[in-house]
Amino acid sequence: MSLKQRFFLLFISFVSFVFYLLACNQTWTKFFVDSLSNPKTSGLFCLDKYLYGDLYGLSYLKDFKEWNSQVQDTRKAGATTRAIDLYCIGDSYLASELTISNENAFLANASVKSFSWYGISSPKKILIDKSKKNVLLVECTERNVRINFSEKEPFIHSFIFDSNLLTSIPESKFKNDFKHRLLQTTFWKFIPENINQNLEMMLFGYKFFEPIKELKADFNYYFFERVAPKVSISPNKRNIYYRSTIDTSYLSSSFKYIPYEEINNIVFKINAIRNFYTQRGFDDVLFSFIPNPATIIEAGRMRYNNLLPDIRDNKNIQAGFIDVYEIFKNYPHPELLYKRTDTHWTSLGFQIWVDKLNQELLSF
Amino acid sequence: MLFNSIQFLFFFITVTALYFVVPDKIRWFLLLLASCWFYMAFVPVYILILLFTIIVDYSAGILIERAENRGKKIYLIASILANVGVLALFKYYNFFSSNINTIFNFSNINYSLPIYALVLPIGLSFHTFQAMSYTIEVFRGNQKAEKHFGIYALYVMYYPQLVAGPIERPQHILPQLRKRYEWDSERFKNGILQMLWGLFKKVVIADRLALFVDFVYKDPSHQPSLNIVVAIVFYSFQIYCDFSGYSSMAIGISRIMGIDLTENFRTPYFSKSMIEFWTRWHISLSSWFRDYLYIPLGGNKVSEVRLYFNLFIVFLISGLWHGASWGFVIWGLLHGILIIINNIKRKYFSWAIKVPDIINILFVFTLVSFAWIFFRSPSLDIAMTIFRQIKEGGWHLSGFNSNEVVYCFILIIFLLIKEYFDSKTVFVGIKHFYFKATLGAFAIYLLGIFSENQFIYFQF
């Protein structure tokens, strides 16, 4: 083999290894992908996974391909701004970079002084000013309620809010977590579980490959009525959902039976979280569980498990709720509340929720 | 990591490209490192078990070669006990304990053996048998003990065949691990096409058939008879494509690197008798049992009754090798009985009217397919339900898209035609490589099911 051939193979090996390493770490993968793509353009290397909605990104069905715009709160600012600092431990429904395009309007209509959002699965230490009125909002989508508030201590407890991060906040909790994670990784899981998804995103997650991905999806859908495992199509073929919110073999299904003991456990956890954070500087803790699109739009398909009303109406509940279930359920055209090709709400659904938040904050 | 994953693609490219860059003398080290990485991608800590058996067998090989008669036997027995002990602990302990506990319960004995939550190390049955093959061949004087620890470790851990075979013999593999090999573009093309064909069999055929089979086996009591029969046929091809697909990939990967692995399948569903079936299906395992169990038991150089007893034992153990459950045991016993009947027919009924080959082929396929029911069923109850539903269900297809069922049959026919012509064709070189490779890759992407389905034989 010539020297030139050896160098070529060495180069191939190096590039392949670099891709492999990048895919082992979520942050590195994101850095690589962000470097190449720009969601605001329609370039060839633009990431297509969320351009047309996360459900399109899971299925690549042409019938469910609509431009995914951020929600907007376009109403005029409210008359008064309450001196409330609103902190949110939540998911993508309220994440500004993913969802809300006009944060100032949201702040104004929510009538709060400031709004800070933290991902529910990324515990952090956060500085708060205890001389101000601080309200914590714990938000998650309905499909994650039974998972996030399950038997084991929910990781929501892992957030640390303190007015002085330089004081002796026990670091051991984070250190032990690191040591525990290291041991787990070394002995039980060497390579991250999502390495294949990361590699797929780095290699094939671009608009460039859209036609071939759509061809595959359409072939399976039109010939065999088969869609990607993570999605489910409604019987009238007009809507698409996360399969886990429809299929009753999943805990997160809107139609999976819930025993009453589990509702009591969830309420117990909610109250414990409320007490935990009110003892640590918050004036109050509110909860908001956003209904699954399937709960609202496919209400007649199967028997709803009544998760949200049962929690809200439980006699032991102590926390306040930003509850939009009844309003969404009774809305004349419920399909307008959620995006057709994405699991998140539309601007209309979001605005209804903000109005409800405002009503609840009036009591402060 | 699975062969049908993107992760493996990058692993393969990295390792294979580096293989041709590094000097010959350290290629074994690169492959050993890669094999360790490959194995640890499943459960890292289990490499310690592999290391234990490697040390035991490496040492045993050297000691057997140096020792005199009685000593040789002692070291061989110690090596076999160590290997079988590890296999017994991780694979069979819970099975035997739970059955003994059932007997205790039934007899009102107030004691139960503990059951442990042990995860089966991947490929345990395969590399254990390959390791035992080494010490036995050294004992028999057919193989010199390998003095180089790294080369021996690579013999056991060589990643393309580490987790699902083919089970190799030391005489075949050890010399190849030392051989100096230069880049050969014909071998490269051949290897790539072999890999693509293996991947096609797995993700396009096996995983597509699995959708129907899993649907039927999930709740067989509500399935019509036609669904059951179609699922039985589909499973025969699913397991064939799954396993032979893996073997094809392993052979293709090795071929690129200049290493030839044993062919593990030879169109088994064209067999005209059960005896022939076992010379074509999982060849490396059946030859292992022939050489290390059947022949030491006396083979066919014993009385007729003893011959049948030997066959019975071999297939009972073969069933158990596949898994620790009564389903696998019954599957093995069924094959044993069918082989015995075949032997009786050959001996006493050779005068019977010869039937056309196609009838024999269909007959053998039917027998094998019915035996697969026990192999596939997660419990004996499910297996019995399957048999009952063949008789009691209705003769219509339901719950599954009929286009997809037709498509599955088309895939099966394509497979049979291709394999038939491949078996009749003499290899004369690769033509139109780039066209075939591109078409193959495109077909795999377009038609394949990519839901990270593990290969069936990985669980053994």
How distant is the Cα of B360 from the closest Cα of chain A, in angstroms?
Answer: 35
Question: Are residues B372 and B232 in contact, defined by beta-carbon separation less than 8 angstroms?
Answer: yes
pLDDT of residue A170: 43
pLDDT of residue B270: 95
Q: Report d(CA B327, CA B330) in Å as an integer.
A: 5
- Classified as helix, coil or strand, A99 is coil
Active-site annotation of B, residues = 322
pLDDT digits (tens, 9 = 90+) for A272-282: 889 888 888 88
pLDDT of residue A189: 62
Q: Which two tokens stand for residue B192?
A: 């790539």
Q: Across-strand partners of A134?
A: A85
Residue B109 pLDDT greater than 60, yes or no: yes
Check B452 against A196: CB less than 8 A apart: yes
Mean pLDDT for all residues in chain B:
92
**3 state SS for B124-138:** HHHHHHHHHHHHHHH
What is the four-CA torsion angle of A29, A33, A34, A36, rounded to 10 degrees? 150
pLDDT of residue A276: 85
pLDDT digits (tens, 9 = 90+) for B365-382: 999 999 999 999 999 999
How distant is the Cα of B247 from the closest Cα of chain A, in angstroms?
Answer: 22
pLDDT of residue A173: 47
Q: Across-strand partners of A137?
A: A88, A286
How distant is the Cα of A291 from the closest Cα of chain B, in angstroms?
Answer: 28
pLDDT digits (tens, 9 = 90+) for B237-296: 999 999 999 999 999 999 999 999 999 999 999 999 999 999 999 999 999 999 999 999
Check A191 against B20: CB less than 8 A apart: no
Contacts of A224 in chain B (CB under 8 A): 401, 403-404, 407
Q: Report d(CA B37, CA B39) in Å as an integer.
A: 6
Instruction: List, as ranges, residues 7-36 from A with C-beta within 8 Å of B.
Output: 9-10, 12-13, 16-17, 19-20, 23
- How many residue pairs from chains A and B have C-beta atoms closer than 8 A? 78
Q: Report d(CA B235, CA B212) in Å as an integer.
A: 9
pLDDT digits (tens, 9 = 90+) for B35-54: 999 999 888 888 999 999 99
DSSP H or E segment with residue B274: helix B274-280
Residue A215 pLDDT greater than 90, yes or no: yes
Higher per-residue pLDDT: B7 or A119: B7
Question: Pick from B21, B404, B445: which is nearest to A13 by CB?
Answer: B21
CA distance to A234, A267, A312, A356, B60, per residue, from A321 (Å): 30, 12, 7, 9, 70
Three-point CA angle B100, B103, B106, nearest 5°: 155
Contacts of A16 in chain B (CB under 8 A): 10, 13-14, 17
Which of A74-83, A143-152, A244-253, A314-323 has the weakest average pLDDT?
A: A74-83
pLDDT digits (tens, 9 = 90+) for B122-164: 889 999 999 999 999 999 999 999 999 999 999 999 999 998 8
Question: Pick from A17, A196, A215: which is nearest to B14 by CB?
Answer: A17
Q: Report d(CA B196, CA B4) in Å as an integer.
A: 10
Partner A contacted by B405 (CB < 8 A)? no
Name residue, tokens 């993508």: A92
Question: Pick from A10, A187, A199: which is nearest to B21 by CB?
Answer: A10
Among candidate residues B389, B179, B184, B354, the one with its CA nearest the CA of residue B272 = B354
Residue A33 pLDDT greater than 60, yes or no: yes
Partner B contacted by A199 (CB < 8 A)? yes
Composition of chain B by helix, strand, coil, percent to 5 = 75, 0, 25
pLDDT of residue A177: 58
Which of A82-86, B79-83, B178-182 has the weakest average pLDDT?
A: A82-86
Mean pLDDT of A130-156: 81
Q: Which two tokens stand for residue A216?
A: 């595959």
Q: Report d(CA B253, CA B158) in Å as an integer.
A: 11
CA-based nearest residue in chain A for residue B185: A1
Mean pLDDT of B77-86: 94
pLDDT digits (tens, 9 = 90+) for B386-415: 999 998 888 888 888 999 999 999 999 999
Neighbours of A98 (CB within 10 A): 16
Mean pLDDT for all residues in chain A:
82
Check A20 against B45: CB less than 8 A apart: no
pLDDT digits (tens, 9 = 90+) for A330-359: 999 999 999 999 999 998 998 899 888 888
pLDDT of residue A153: 55
- Classified as helix, coil or strand, A206 is strand
Mean pLDDT of A273-295: 90
Three-point CA angle A333, A336, A339, nearest 5°: 150
pLDDT digits (tens, 9 = 90+) for A42-72: 566 676 667 788 899 899 999 999 887 777 6
pLDDT of residue B394: 82
Interface with B, mutate which of A2, A21, A222, A224 (most B CBs under 10 A) = A224
Interface with B, mutate which of A20, A218, A222 (most B CBs under 10 A) = A20
Among candidate residues B165, B104, B173, the one with its CA nearest the CA of residue B134 = B173
pLDDT of residue A218: 93
Check B183 against A1: CB less than 8 A apart: yes
Contacts of A199 in chain B (CB under 8 A): 6-7, 10
pLDDT band at B211 (very low <50, low <70, confident <90, very high): very high
How distant is the Cα of B142 from the closest Cα of chain A, in angstroms?
Answer: 36
For the four alpha carbons of B405, B406, B412 and B418, in that order, the dihedral sign comes to: negative
Check A196 against B14: CB less than 8 A apart: no
Q: Report d(CA B8, CA B387) in Å as an integer.
A: 39
pLDDT digits (tens, 9 = 90+) for A242-256: 999 999 999 999 999
Contacts of A59 in chain B (CB under 8 A): none
What is the four-CA torsion angle of A323, A325, A330, A333, rounded to 10 degrees? 110
pLDDT of residue A32: 81
Could you tell me whether strands A284-290 and A240-242 are parallel, antiparallel, or unpaired per DSSP bridges?
unpaired
Higher per-residue pLDDT: A33 or B234: B234
Q: Report d(CA B57, CA B43) in Å as an integer.
A: 22
Mean pLDDT of B444-448: 93
Percentage of chain B lying above the pLDDT 90 cut:
73
Q: Report d(CA A283, CA A133) in Å as an integer.
A: 6
Check B10 against A16: CB less than 8 A apart: yes
Question: Pick from B43, B183, B403: which is nearest to A223 by CB?
Answer: B403
pTM equals 0.89
Q: Which two tokens stand for residue B324?
A: 């620790």
pLDDT band at B453 (very low <50, low <70, confident <90, very high): low
CA-based nearest residue in chain A for residue B42: A189
Partner A contacted by B340 (CB < 8 A)? no
Rg, Å, chain A Cα set: 23
Contacts of B40 in chain A (CB under 8 A): 190
- Encode burial over B247-284: b for 16+ CB neighbours within 10 A, e otherwise: bbbbbbbbbbbbbebbebbebbbbbbbbebbbebbbbb
Neighbours of A176 (CB within 10 A): 11
pLDDT digits (tens, 9 = 90+) for B305-359: 999 999 999 999 999 999 889 999 999 999 999 999 999 998 888 777 788 999 9
Residue A299 pLDDT greater than 90, yes or no: no
Question: Are residues A227 and A217 in contact, defined by beta-carbon separation less than 8 angstroms?
Answer: yes
Residue A309 pLDDT greater than 50, yes or no: yes
pLDDT band at A165 (very low <50, low <70, confident <90, very high): very low
CA-based nearest residue in chain A for residue B119: A188
Could you tell me whether strands A231-233 and A160-162 are parallel, antiparallel, or unpaired per DSSP bridges?
unpaired
Partner A contacted by B5 (CB < 8 A)? yes
CA-based nearest residue in chain A for residue B405: A224
Question: Are residues A68 and A95 in contact, defined by beta-carbon separation less than 8 angstroms?
Answer: no
Question: Pick from A13, A196, A229: which is nearest to B17 by CB?
Answer: A13
**3 state SS for B42-83:** CCHHHHHHHHHHHHHHHHHHHHHHHCCHHHHHHHHHHHHHHH
